[in-house]
Amino acid sequence: MSTSLIDNGVNVEALLGAREALAAAPEAAQFHWRARCEWVNGTHSRTTVHDFSGLGAEHTHRERFTFEGDHPEVFASEDHGATPAEIVLAALASCLTAGIAAVATNRGVQLRSVTCTVEADHDVRGILGADPDVRNGFNGVLVHYTIDADASREDIEAIVAQSQKRSAVYDILTNPTAVTVDVN
Amino acid sequence: MSTSLIDNGVNVEALLGAREALAAAPEAAQFHWRARCEWVNGTHSRTTVHDFSGLGAEHTHRERFTFEGDHPEVFASEDHGATPAEIVLAALASCLTAGIAAVATNRGVQLRSVTCTVEADHDVRGILGADPDVRNGFNGVLVHYTIDADASREDIEAIVAQSQKRSAVYDILTNPTAVTVDVN
């Protein structure tokens, strides 16, 4: 099956070209993502994403993307935004879904629809300090895809597995990352 | 210093009450966060967050929160949203910042302004499959706070450290979480 017959809106040729080019130029592959956060009031904050560097240059997004974070009313907050925990789930879903579109295109599979639900179990005794044996983060996360595509169930499962294998956010959740927090 | 003299917009009494109540009722502390993602086109997806469960009941946010995820033009995409990697940074910043407001209030510290920058180093050879020895996720993350508050530098640093110690998203990044991905 030729990829030229399908159109998922992914430029796979450019990605394959980037893979080849960056394998030979590792310094260009070093990206620096940035976010700026401002406390609004209570547990409400506003984070903006605008510029990043990579390919040896500075770049700006086409627009400034803004994220409102807050806690819900059941935590005695004002619910002006999603919880940080839910924002993590949005990151995971968007990463895996982009990967599914890219891998499907590379394999000549036309997608018609891709949806997923993400669920995270979270024992909030950790963040409340109610039990030192309970971790602060999730106990586990389940991502459940429903995909309509011109492919067998086995091929669809293999596309999802390959997206998972190359997902930045899946890796960030399942493996440790060093995070340094300091004060100016 | 009395917490009644300061107002950061955080209801610390309610949080302390929840800590006590949930220590004695662990089943009520089990929260389930949910997100639903829909592929739009190419690497662009839309994730919505609306309902969750906890305290033994179902809850809905005051509104439906939406996250557009995409890849930038330097990845041959259309840049309709932040990258999933940047969305992770927004989650981390909002989690730590909410914690700073809560801890400062608990310690009787009036905040005037809290801002942070978050930077992540990311070698994209991992996600491109250009080098099997490069991980898909970040090489590291640096969060840098600037805080104006009625407190000494040492007290401010201790507030930030305590927020970090109780942060769900800091834990999610720095420690492994089990993530299961399946197809309907």
CA–CA gap between residue B126 and residue B179 (Å, rounded): 19
* Minimum distance, in Å, between the CA of residue A78 and any CA atom of chain B: 9
**A126-145 pLDDT, tens digit each:** 999 999 999 999 999 999 99
| Average pLDDT over chain B, rounded to an integer | 96
| Amino acid at the residue A76 | A
The helix/strand/coil state of A169 is helix
CA–CA gap between residue B24 and residue B51 (Å, rounded): 25
Place of tokens 């309509």: A148
CA angle B67, B69, B74 (to 5 degrees): 150
Judge whether A42 and B8 are in contact, CB under 8 Å.
yes
**A39-75 pLDDT, tens digit each:** 999 999 999 999 999 999 999 999 999 999 999 999 9
Residues of B in contact with A117 (CB under 8 A): 34-37
* Minimum distance, in Å, between the CA of residue B155 and any CA atom of chain A: 11
Name the pTM for this structure. 0.97
* Minimum distance, in Å, between the CA of residue B2 and any CA atom of chain A: 17
DSSP for chain B, written as a single string: --GGG---S--HHHHHHHHHHHHS-GGGGEEEEEEEEEEEETTEEEEEEEEEEETTEEEEEEEEEEEEE---GGGTS---SB-HHHHHHHHHHHHHHHHHHHHHHHTT--EEEEEEEEEEEEETHHHHTS-TTS-SS-SEEEEEEEEEESS-HHHHHHHHHHHHHT-HHHHHHHS---EEEEE-
- Strand partners for B118: A35, B143
For B142, residues 6+ apart whose C-beta sits below 8 A from its C-beta are A179, A180, A182, B118, B119, B120
Sheet of B44-54: strands edge to edge?
A: B57-69, B44-54, B30-41, A111-123, A140-149, B179-183
B22–A89 C-beta distance less than 8 A = no
- What the block records as the tokens of A117 is 């639900």
- What is the pLDDT at residue A4? 61
| Residue in B46, B58, B65, B114 to test binding to A, most A beta-carbons within 10 Å | B65
**B150-171 pLDDT, tens digit each:** 999 999 999 999 999 999 999 9
What value does the mean pLDDT take over residues B29-52? 98
| Residue in B10, B16, B136, B148 to test binding to A, most A beta-carbons within 10 Å | B136
CA–CA gap between residue A136 and residue B34 (Å, rounded): 17
Place of tokens 């020895």: B133
* Minimum distance, in Å, between the CA of residue A66 and any CA atom of chain B: 9
A-contacting residues of B 62-121, CB under 8 Å? 62, 65, 67-79, 81-98, 100-102, 111, 113-121
**B90-123 pLDDT, tens digit each:** 999 999 999 999 999 999 999 999 999 999 999 9
The helix/strand/coil state of A171 is helix
Indicate the pLDDT class of residue B4, thresholds 50, 70 and 90: low
CA–CA gap between residue A53 and residue A114 (Å, rounded): 30
Residues of A in contact with B44 (CB under 8 A): 9, 98
B117–A34 C-beta distance less than 8 A = yes
- Rg (alpha carbons) of chain A, rounded to whole number: 19
- What is the pLDDT at residue A164? 98
**B78-93 pLDDT, tens digit each:** 999 999 999 999 999 9
B22–A130 C-beta distance less than 8 A = yes
